[in-house]
Structures are given as C-alpha cells and as structure tokens.
C-alpha cells in the first residue's frame, strides 16, 4: 500500500496480481469493508488485451484513466490497482485529481517493476 496526501485528501493505492476478472470484485469488496468511510474507490486493471478503468464518482477521466496510464507506462500485465480517496475538504480540480491519482498509483506500481 502507498499513501499520498494532497491538499488534505488522502490517497491509498493498492496493487494486486490477478489472473482473471472474477478476482476483482472480491478484492474491491474486501477493500470497501476495510475503508467504509472513504469517498471514492477508483480502479484500473490490465489482463492481456483487456483493460478497464473506473472513476467511481470522480469527474470523468480524472481518476481511472490516470491509473490505467500508470499501468501502461510500466508495461505491466495481470495487475489491478485500486486507489481509495478520503476527501480532505479542499477541491483539487481536474488537473490536481489527474496528478494525484496518477502519482499515487505510479508509486505503488513501481514496486512491481
């Protein structure tokens, strides 16, 4: 797990090696139980040619896509990244969200390169 604090918002990124999409729901459910008070559960994954990302309520393209790009830049496969955000009361704006989610996911993924 990697933690990033950005303008009082707390971003916790987790990376998991996965073999198929069926594993993803179980991982997301487990993290949701652990982090009941968080605002957003953003995720992205890549399994072979299959890629998917989800902004989970953040403005479109500001969370899931930067996370997926972090996976792509590192040429990783069979990987799921989940970033959990605890809102700190200060709006980050679209650019701030893109940077924070990408940076948090990237730091976590660097452990796998």
% pLDDT > 90, the chain: 97
Q: Phi first, then psi: what are they for 105, rounded to 5°?
A: -65, -45
* Averaged pLDDT of the chain: 96
What integer is the mean pLDDT of 66-82?
Answer: 98
Range of the domain at 12: 2-112
pLDDT of 16 over the 90 cut: yes
Supply the CATH number for residue 10's domain: 3.30.230.30
Local confidence band at 69 (pLDDT 50, 70, 90 cut-offs) = very high
- Total of domains in the chain: 1
CA 65 to chain CA centroid, Å, is 9
Residue 113 has pLDDT above 90, yes or no: no
pLDDT at 45 over 90: yes
Q: If you compute the radius of gyration of the chain from its CA atoms, what whole number of angstroms results?
A: 13
Beta bridge partners of 16: 80
User: Which of 12, 14, 15 shows the shortest CA–CA distance to 78?
Assistant: 15
Total-model pTM: 0.95
Angle between helices 93-109 and 64-73 (to 10 degrees): 40
Both tokens assigned to 10: 């707390």
At residue 23, φ and ψ (nearest 5 deg) are: -70, -25
Which residue bears the tokens 């008070």?
37
């Amino acid at each position: 797990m990697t933690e990033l604090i950005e303008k009082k918002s707390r971003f916790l990124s987790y990376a998991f090696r996965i073999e198929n999409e069926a594993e993803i729901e179980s991982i997301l459910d487990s993290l949701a139980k652990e982090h009941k008070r968080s605002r957003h559960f953003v995720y992205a994954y890549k399994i072979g040619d299959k890629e998917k990302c989800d902004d989970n309520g953040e403005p479109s393209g500001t969370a899931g896509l930067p996370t997926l790009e972090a996976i792509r830049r590192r040429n990783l496969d069979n990987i799921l990244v989940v970033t959990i955000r605890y809102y700190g009361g200060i709006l980050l704006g679209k650019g701030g969200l893109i940077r924070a989610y990408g940076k948090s996911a990237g730091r976590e993924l660097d452990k796998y390169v």
